[in-house]
Chain A
Amino acid sequence: MQDASPPTAEVEPPADEPITARGDLTDAACWIALGIAILVGSITMDRLEQQHINPYTVPGLLPGLLGIMMIVLGGILALRSMRRGALHLAPPPPSAHDRERWRRIWVVTALCLGYGVVLIGHGLPFWLASTIYVTGSILIIQRMSRDPAERRRTQTPKAWAKALTIGLSSSVITHLVFQEFFLVRLP
Chain B
Amino acid sequence: MLQGLAELGHAYLGFLNPLTLAYGLGGAFVGIIMGILPGLSATLAIALLTTLTIKLQTNDAILVLICSYVGALYGGSRTAILLNIPGTAANAASCADGYALAKKGQAGRAIGIATSGAFVSTLFGVLCLATFTPVLAEVALSFGAFEFFWLALFGVTMSGSIVGQDPLKGWLMGMFGLFLAQVGQEGLYAHDRFTFGWDELAGGFALIPALVGAFGLAEVLTTLADPIERKIMDLKDSVLPRWREIAQYWRTVLRSGVIGVFTGLLPGVGEDAGSWMSYAAAKAVSKEKEQFGKGSIDGLMAAETGDMASVPGHIIPCLALGIPGSAPSAVLMAAMIIHGVQPGPMLMIQHPTFIYEVVAMTTLASFTILLFGLFGVRPLLHVLKVPRAILMPIVFLLCVVGAYATASRLFDVYAMLAIGTAAFFLRRRGYEMAPLVLGLVLGHLLDKSLRRGLVLSDGSLLPFFTRPICMVFAAVTLFTILLYVPGFKAGVNWMRRALVQGFKALLPRRG
Contacts and interface: CB of A to CB of B under 8 A. Distances in A.
B447 A19 contact: no
A184 B55 contact: yes
Contact of B396 (A66, A97, A115, A167): A115
Contacts of A31: 172
Chain A interface bracket (under 10, 10 to 19, 20 to 34, 35 or more)? 35 or more
Nearest to A185: B408
B429 interface: yes
B349 interface: no
Given A73-B168, A74-B172, A187-B410, A61 B450 contact: yes
A105 B455 contact: no
Contacts of A46: 191
B221 A100 contact: no
Which secondary structure characterizes the binding site on chain A? helix
A21 B388 CA distance: 33
A148 interface: no
Interface in B409-440: 410, 413-414, 416-417, 420-421, 424, 428-430
A85 interface: no
B397 A170 contact: yes
A182 B53 contact: yes
Chain B interface bracket (under 10, 10 to 19, 20 to 34, 35 or more)? 35 or more
A59 B191 contact: yes
A120 B186 CA distance: 31
A13 B400 contact: no
Contact of B175 (A11, A53, A66, A76): A66
Nearest to A111: B393
A173 to B, nearest CB: 10
B384 interface: no
Given A27-B429, A60-B193, A13 B226 contact: yes
Given A31-B172, A116-B400, A133-B397, A146 B455 contact: no
A77 B390 contact: no
Given A104-B227, A108-B220, A142 B396 contact: no
A9 B230 contact: yes
Contacts of B193: 45, 59-60, 63
18 contacts: A9-B230, A13-B226, A13-B227, A46-B191, A57-B451, A61-B451, A62-B451, A63-B179, A73-B168, A77-B169, A104-B224, A104-B227, A105-B424, A108-B225, A112-B220, A112-B420, A145-B389, A187-B401
Interface of B: 51-55, 168-169, 171-172, 175-176, 178-179, 182, 186, 188-189, 191, 193-194, 217, 220-221, 224-231, 387-390, 392-394, 396-398, 400-401, 404-405, 408, 410, 413-414, 416-417, 420-421, 424, 428-430, 446-447, 450-452, 454-455, 458-459
Given A171-B397, A184-B51, 9 more contacts: A9-B230, A11-B228, A34-B176, A62-B178, A69-B171, A101-B226, A138-B393, A184-B54, A186-B404
